[in-house]
Structure formats: C-alpha cells, structure tokens
Amino acid sequence: MNFQENKSFKKKLPTLPKVFLTERQLCDLELILNGGFSPLEGFLNEKDYNSVISKMRLSDGKLWPIPVVLDTRSIEGLKVEGEVLLCDNYEKSLAVLSIKSIYKPDKEREALLVYGTKNKEHFGVKYLLDYTNKYYIGGKVIPINPIERMDFEKLRFDPSSLKKEFKKRKWRRVIAFQTRNPMHKAHFHLIKEAARIHQAKVLIHPAVGQTKEGDIDYVTRVKCYEIIQEKYAGDFALVSLLPLAMRFAGPREAILHAIIRKNYGCTDFIVGRHHADPENDSKGNPFYRPFNAQEEAIKHSKEIGINIIQFPEMAYDEKEGKYVSVNGKNRQGSSVKKISGTEFRRMLRNNEEIPSWFSFPEVIKVLRQRVERQKGFAVFITGLPSSGKSTIAKALTAALIEKSGQNITFLDGDVVRKHLSRGLGFSEEDRKENIRRIGFVANEVVRHGGIAVCDAISPYEDVRQEVRRMIERNGTFVQIYLSTPLSVCKKRDVKGIYKKAELGLVKNVTGVDDVYEVPKDSEMKLDTSKKRSAACLNLVMGYLEEKKILR
C-alpha cells in the first residue's frame, strides 16, 4: 500500500469530518489497504452493494460474495463527492474515503440474501440487524497512515510480505488452512496429510479479527498456534495471523476465504464440511447443509484461481491408533472417538482429564490457564426515574461483594454525572454521551475480569446497543429493564424531578417531555411496583447463577 505523503493533501485532513472505526471496520479497512480484499479498493458503494448481495458480484462483474460496507449512525456533515477521514479510537488518521454514495440499506433483505435467513440466532444476522448502523457510506479509500498491530508482530504478514516469505523459503505450492479455533490433533493430522498428499507446505492462517460470543479469544489461540509451529510443525507449516472479522456466512464466506488466500499467495485452500458456519439454531437445525460451502467453493475455484481441498470429518480410531476420515461405515463404530467443541469446553471448565489422543499437552495447559481466569461481566439497569434502579443496583453490588471473588465497580448514573460526565447537559446527544462514558468505564472493568454494576435511565435504544456491543467483545452483558409504570414512579418521585417538571422548573424529563425507548432485548424485565427489592435481587442473582455468569 502507498501511504499518502502529499503535503497539500495532508493539510486538508483537519478540515474533514471524521468517522471512528469499530474493530470490525478496522479489520475490513486493513484488508482493503493491504490487498487481502482485492479487487476491492474501498467500501462498497450502493451499486456494488446491491450487485454483491443479489449476484455475489461487483457491478463490473468481478466475483465478490460478501458486502464490505462502512456503516455509520450519523451522516451529518457528509455528502456525495465529499471526503471523510477514517480514524481509529485513538484519533489516528488511517485513510480518507472519497464518498461515492450514501445510502440506507434494507437490512432484512441483506440478511436473507447473504445469510439465507432472518433468524437472529445466526450470529451474522444478529450483528447485521441489531448492531449495524442504519447508514452505509461507499467509495474508494486513500491510505494515510498504517494500521498498527503491536502484538505478535513476527506472526503478522500482509499479502506482499507473505509472498516474499514463500519465495525466500522456496515454497511453490502452499495450502492455506483457515481456523478461528485452537488447533488440536485432528486438525494437525489433517494439514500434515494434506501436505504429504499434495507435496506442499501449509499456511496456518487463523482469523484474529472479530469472531462470535463464546469463541476462545485470539490471544489464547495464538499462543496455541505458536506451540504447534515451534514444537510440532517443523518446516512444513508457517503461522500467519489474518486480521479478518468473521461473518459466519457459510458458502458465501468460503468463497471469500478462498479469494483472500489467493491474494495472500496460496495455491490451495482447505474447506471444511461446515466451513464458516454459526452453531445450529435453538431447535438444533443447521443454518447451512453439510458440504454446501465445499460445493460453492469448488464451483468458483477456477475463476478465483485456487485449488479447493475438501476437508473431511476426522475422528480417532482407538483400534487403529490413528485419526481416520469419518464415513457411513465407521461413524457408529465403538472404537471411533470424537469430542465436540462444546463438550471439550465443558471438560475444561470442570477440570476433567482430556484424552491424550485429542490434543497436545502444551495446548491443553494454555487453554486450562484461560479457563481459570474468571470472565468479567456487566449488569446494566435501565428504566424511568424512580423506577428503583439505584435501590436494586446497590443491593446487587452488596450481594456480589459477598458472593464473588472478583473486583466489583458500581457506576451510578447520578454519581457519574457529577464526576466523569460533569459539564454534560440533558440534550439527546449529551445523554447518549453520558451512557457511552459509563459504557467505556464498564468495558474496562469487564476487560480486566471484573464486574461492573451500572444504573442509568439510558432512554435511547441505539446507545444501549452500542454499549452492549462494546462490552460483549470482552465479557458478558446483562441488561435489566425496570418496567415500573410511570404513575408509580411519579408517586415515588424520590428526587422531586417529576414535581419540578410539572411546575415547569426543568425540561427534558424522561417520561414527561422526553422519550423513553423500551429496550428490545433485555435479559431481565422487572416491575418494582409488583415485587419488593429483595425479591428482585433474588431473581437477578438466580439468573446470574443459572446462566453460569456468576460462579
């Protein structure tokens, strides 16, 4: 990528409107700029977007299966033919986007065409419908500064540097292996066999961008990959981290992964029978049929210019003492053993012995250390003024102090306004900013394994969702909506705010002359006019224990 050095160009940067990128957008931008997403030169404009979701092709006919878009909650100050500065959270300027189109997508249509479903139990669909902002901005991007990744620098190759590394090692045929999970013995056997059969080397190319809730964090996974490379792989495999945010789009995503590996210089790509699948829905039904991803990848392999190697299901045969491909004949055999990912995680949590045939002892050790680190969580209590938020939050904080060994931080909305949010008023934007600040602090608590108990009116759904997204990257988010009726809240009027509103002494009072948007997806809903605070506390603690959030 060629970073823009033109002085006159850089002089205009301070005058441009800014968009601060999410981690997912940052991954997308990095792959656009480094050529991993070639032929993309920017985020999709409206014409390309419509073509991609309906035909899996850009408007010029080039194959591209997944919409890569820049979503934003506001388009204030933006205009077609204008420019916008793309920045990271530290306000570092990364690129300028030349705006070709600003559009409002039909996200339900996008879900149906790209994911084949509108069911929010599908991770990609939930992210699209609940977390993706309502406006998309499309256009080419001009790089300004490199995106810095300071961890595991020796394992980070862009397409250009990886091709040079292959050349330096004299690797002519390279098989890419995509994963978002730790590697165990079945995976290792698979790539070793692939290398032997095809007389090739292997690129272990894990996605280390956003995956989904419940997946093992990338830092832990990378430590496992390092063990595989250093202790077991010898010179037949190389680990390189891929800054890819997973979509879990099954067949379409398999095509995307193949395009990326071609761009990174690979000649072959392994595709599994359930490649890039989310887990089954709540009824146990898969979102995509087995082998669908393999079929679609093979269908487009010639156009992409990469050979597809079909990934068989592997299991350990105790009689044979080795891994074998699972088929109709041996699937029910008593000597053929498998452990599912869910079962493996349960065994780790319960400190059960892991069979030696399943994984490497050094990998198990790293994963056990991760399990022993308690996961952080945030409880976010929202509702009208005088609905009982502070009462329940204080009682919950006290109960957690007694029950949990984790550090606990109580973020009360009124206290935060006196300190962290001093100077903010009660306009819609100021109220949203106040919640963002609470969310930011809560996220830092959760990120370090602590518990954050937050109470705030938080009347706007979009910023509540923003906070949820932020925290769910690092831990668990539990939203409790206090549905106490307005009439009861007015009678309580603990701080006299309703009375002041009636007298015209204050404005923008939630429930009087300002809106309260009822939450769409709270984990709990409590009416404190029907249940005493002790009963509410018992319900909350019961929920945290039942869901194994509190251990």
Asked if the structure places residue 425 within a domain, the reply is yes
Supply the pLDDT for residue 243: 97
Supply the pLDDT for residue 77: 92
Number of domain units in the chain? 3
Whether the Cβ atoms of residue 144 and residue 88 lie closer than 8 Å to each other: no
Nearest to 447 by CA among 418, 478, 470: 470
The reply to whether 289 and 388 lie within a common domain is no
Supply the pLDDT for residue 65: 98
Asked if the structure places residue 428 within a domain, the reply is yes
The reply to whether 44 and 83 lie within a common domain is yes
Supply the pLDDT for residue 433: 94
The reply to whether 162 and 265 lie within a common domain is yes
Q: Is 267 a catalytic residue?
A: no
Whether the Cβ atoms of residue 273 and residue 311 lie closer than 8 Å to each other: yes
Asked if the structure places residue 551 within a domain, the reply is no
Share of the chain above pLDDT 70, in %: 97
The reply to whether 399 and 466 lie within a common domain is yes
Average pLDDT for 64-70: 98
The reply to whether 274 and 219 lie within a common domain is yes
DSSP structural state of residue 127: I
| 28 pLDDT tier (thresholds 50, 70, 90) | very high
Average pLDDT for 228-255: 95
| 3 pLDDT tier (thresholds 50, 70, 90) | low
The reply to whether 127 and 158 lie within a common domain is no
Which of 336, 353, 371 represents a domain boundary (last residue)?
371
Q: Give this prediction's pTM.
A: 0.77
Catalytic residue (one of 117, 119, 133, 181): 181
Q: Is the pLDDT of residue 330 over 60?
A: no
Share of the chain above pLDDT 90, in %: 70
Average pLDDT for 462-468: 94
Supply the pLDDT for residue 493: 87
Q: In this predicted model, which residue has the larger pLDDT, 335 or 210?
A: 210
Average pLDDT for 521-544: 95
The reply to whether 386 and 279 lie within a common domain is no
The reply to whether 111 and 158 lie within a common domain is no
Asked if the structure places residue 210 within a domain, the reply is yes
At residue 409, the 3 state secondary structure works out as strand
Average pLDDT for 352-377: 88
Catalytic residue (one of 24, 180, 261, 431): 180
Q: Is the pLDDT of residue 497 over 60?
A: yes
Containing H/E element for 50? helix 46-55
CA distance 224 to 212: 19
Supply the pLDDT for residue 344: 86
Catalytic residue (one of 179, 407, 409, 508): 179
Whether the Cβ atoms of residue 162 and residue 240 lie closer than 8 Å to each other: yes
Supply the pLDDT for residue 370: 77
Asked if the structure places residue 410 within a domain, the reply is yes
Supply the pLDDT for residue 281: 87
Which of 307, 337, 371 represents a domain boundary (last residue)?
371
Asked if the structure places residue 2 within a domain, the reply is no
The reply to whether 326 and 471 lie within a common domain is no
Q: Is 330 a catalytic residue?
A: no
The reply to whether 420 and 489 lie within a common domain is yes
CA distance 480 to 371: 27
Q: In this predicted model, which residue has the larger pLDDT, 297 or 210?
A: 297
Nearest to 138 by CA among 52, 10, 13: 52
Which of 108, 143, 178 represents a domain boundary (last residue)?
143
Q: Is 181 a catalytic residue?
A: yes
Average pLDDT for 343-354: 83
Average pLDDT for 181-196: 93
The reply to whether 541 and 483 lie within a common domain is yes
- Domain span at residue 496 reads 377-546
Q: Is the pLDDT of residue 350 over 80?
A: no
**CATH code at position 394:** 3.40.50.300
Asked if the structure places residue 1 within a domain, the reply is no
The reply to whether 33 and 51 lie within a common domain is yes
